[in-house]
Chain A
Amino acid sequence: MVGVLPPPSLFSKHLRKHSLMKHRTFFWFFFPTGMAMLLFIALPILSVVTQSLFTPHEAVLVTVETCTPFKCTEETAIDQEATAAIRAAEPLGRFVGLDIYFDRGHLAIIEVSEAWRARVSFADFLSKLNNLPFYRAIAFTLAFTFIVTPLVILMGLVIALAVNTLHAKLKGIVIFFSLLPFVITPLIGALVLFWMIDSRGILGNALQWLAGDPTLSLKASTGLMWISLMVYGVWHAAPFAFVIFYAGLQTLPMDQLEAAQIDGASRFQRLRYVIVPHLMPLVTFVALIQLMDNFRVFEPIVGFNASAHASSLSWAIFNDLGGETQQLSSAAATSVITIIGVAILLSPVLVRTWRDHKRKA
């Protein structure tokens, strides 16, 4: 009977072969999602890059000679037919290389170097930069990203710690209401807040009363508008951080906490040296997600009708695409710069993931 059953080692090898999916099988399982991402994410990126190197054809001008019995005058007019024809024939437009990236609407190389040469002080240079649409957008985007993200983490942590001390029966209802600002459509959430802080809304009224200034209006002040946009950002994302940290608090190492207490650690020291280190991986996760999401800030600017005071990279793209004359090339150039920005933002995470992967492999 020996030899009927394969030896154990061979048997496990047989199993291991089963455990790895074959390339062919993998391909067919992955095909639909891979195709969707290839066609509608990867190719559009190429399309955006291409589009950003072209600009629409200029109108074709014709010189028409109109003669009266006394003299002839030459007039230059737009040849509508020819213009339409060439635009239809080459919808991409004409190739201009990197010109769009350097024009006034984007990196504005000429204007920036002029402003730098003519600067009175560094602040003066910065204020001149702020008049250029692209730098205005990038200033707000970065300010929003790097102010809102830490505030969201802090707010979420405090809410989580506070809710964790509540009676178990209350927790469910608190979590229910806490989730609302997070699941709400960003545009709608922004509108709901905006209508309240409108000078005729309840919060706007309350602020006027508090400040003793009946003419106070958020819509009139850039600083106040930035603050309210950031308040919206924290309001919208704090529940996300809260839920994650709250889940982390359920797995606190109780023995460590008690040991720390026996050693005489104060409540704050326990928070600082036991709880926060325990939550640290979650903090990294929330920070990563929040950096990505805050960098695309866009809906609140539409909802708050704040384009006079603040603009962001995403808003600039939206504005180019949605205007009466669709400026595809301009939008594409801003898109490419935004994608590069995201890549820079993400690079520390990618490098770390890659190192971890190499170490494991």
Chain B
Amino acid sequence: MSSPVNKMPTALRFASILFVIVWLTMAAFPFIWTFWGSFKVELDFFSISDWTNAITGKRTLETHGSPFTGAGYNGAWIEEGFLRNVINTFIVCFFVVCTSLTFGTLGGYALSRSGFRYTFWLLIAALIFRAMPPITLVAGYMLPFFEWNLWGILPTTIIVLVAINQPFTLWMLHSFFQNIPKELDESAKVDGCTQFQAFRHVIIPVMWPGVITTGLFSFLLAYNDFAVTSMLLSEGNRTMVPQIAAFLGTTYTEGNIMFAVAAVVSATAPLFVLVMFFQRQIVSGLTAGAVKG
């Protein structure tokens, strides 16, 4: 990259490095700060008198005899039974990802291989569905789910999240399938495979990167959802995010906001690990949609 285009004046170079540092601080500092603060008592994390208390943990030292305390985590995980919500989240995410990918690969493959007019309209319908805020559908679920006693349980939420995921999954997998040459399954069919056999034994093995990337985004959608899970799950079946929202309702009055802080840090950790291991797939997934338009 030594082309003259990239030679920058010193001032501009300096400004751009400064900007990157400012942006990195904006992006990372809130998480570091909250992580650090989650081991403190409330009077340190929200310190009125002196902000350095949040770093040194003066009040925490006074209360617990050490500048770090696991009291928030103890409160969230043991007293409030946050583990139950964590397990629920992972059950929901696991089934949402598996079902979404099964439905999505079949549908996305069909859309990329059928040249008929209706594939265009199906993709447009999916785009419209993708644009609708999920919460607008919830009012439509409530009454039927109550009437048929489906409300409040995990399977209902899973299938609803799968359906809400489908438009996005279809678009993404469709664009990945388009990149796989049609000759591949054509030759398999000429050799006597059925369409499904061609899909199963020829296309899927070369599709793994695309499937993993799409799976990551399905996971994020299910993991991050608040609108649907908070409305469709009963109190005992809550996943992490609605539970954190429920903590907020009670903690502002009861004064154990550190439970919520600890729960927030706990819920962030899996996402942190996810980005660490799958950074490349996330980036490629984001750009896959853009390049295809």
Contact = CB atoms under 8 A, between A and B. Distances in A.
Interface of A: 15, 18-23, 25-26, 29-30, 32-34, 36-37, 39-41, 43-48, 51, 91-92, 158-159, 161-163, 165-166, 172, 174-181, 183-188, 191-193, 195-196, 198, 200-202, 205-206, 235, 239-240, 243-244, 247-248, 254, 257-258, 261, 267, 270, 281-282, 285-286, 292, 295-296, 298-299, 302, 305, 313-314, 317-318, 320-322, 326, 328, 331-332, 335-336, 338-339, 342-343, 345-346, 350, 353-354, 357, 361
B33 A202 contact: yes
Nearest to A47: B140
Contact of B166 (A33, A184, A191): A33
B132 A342 contact: yes
Interface stretch (B43-51, B66-74, B80-88, B207-215): B43-51
Given A40-B159, A188-B264, A188-B268, A163 B20 contact: yes
Contacts of A270: 5
Given A261-B4, A318-B227, 7 more contacts: A18-B186, A40-B162, A45-B140, A48-B139, A91-B146, A159-B20, A201-B46
Contact of A191 (B17, B26, B264): B264
Interface string B16-49: 1101100110111011011001000000011110
B2 interface: no
A175 B129 CA distance: 30
Contacts of A313: 133
B163 A176 contact: no
B98 to A, nearest CB: 12
A161 to B, nearest CB: 7
A270 B17 CA distance: 20
A21 B104 contact: no
B279 A172 contact: yes
Contacts of A285: 289-290, 293
A161 B16 contact: yes
A314 B264 contact: no
B113 interface: yes
B230 interface: yes
B23 A159 contact: yes
B106 A328 contact: no
B78 interface: no
A192 B268 CA distance: 10
B3 interface: yes
Contacts of B144: 47
Contacts of A239: 27
A30 B122 contact: yes
A51 B226 contact: no
The 9 closest A-B pairs by CB, nearest first: A44-B140, A40-B163, A33-B107, A29-B110, A296-B133, A47-B140, A200-B46, A48-B140, A335-B136
B139 A332 contact: yes
Nearest to B225: A185
Interface of B: 3-6, 8, 12-13, 16-17, 19-20, 23-24, 26-28, 30-31, 33-34, 37, 45-48, 51, 54, 102-104, 106-107, 109-111, 113-117, 120, 122, 124-144, 146-147, 159-160, 162-164, 166-167, 169-170, 182, 186, 189-190, 195-196, 199, 220, 223-224, 226-227, 230-231, 241, 244-245, 248, 252, 260-261, 264, 267-268, 271-272, 274-276, 279, 282-283, 286-287, 289-291, 293
Centre residue among B30, B134, B227, B289 by max chain A CB count within 10 A: B30
B23 A179 contact: no
A321 B159 contact: no
A254 B5 contact: yes
Centre residue among A172, A180, A202, A270 by max chain B CB count within 10 A: A202
B48 to A, nearest CB: 5
A339 B132 contact: yes
A37 B106 CA distance: 14
A292 B131 contact: yes
Contacts of B293: 281, 285
Interface of A is mostly: helix
B107 A30 contact: yes
Contact of B143 (A47, A191, A206, A318): A47
A322 B230 contact: yes
A178 to B, nearest CB: 5
B137 A176 contact: no
A247 B132 CA distance: 28
Contacts of B166: 33, 36-37, 41
Nearest to A342: B131
A185 B226 contact: yes
Contacts of B146: 91
B114 A20 contact: yes
Contacts of A240: 286
A123 B112 CA distance: 53
Contact of A235 (B26, B110, B126, B241): B26
B20 A174 contact: yes
Given A296-B133, A346-B128, A32 B107 contact: yes
A166 B20 contact: yes
Contacts of A39: 163
B135 A302 contact: no
A31 B37 CA distance: 50
Given A21-B113, A183-B220, A185-B223, A258 B260 contact: no
A177 B224 contact: no
Contacts of A45: 132, 137, 140
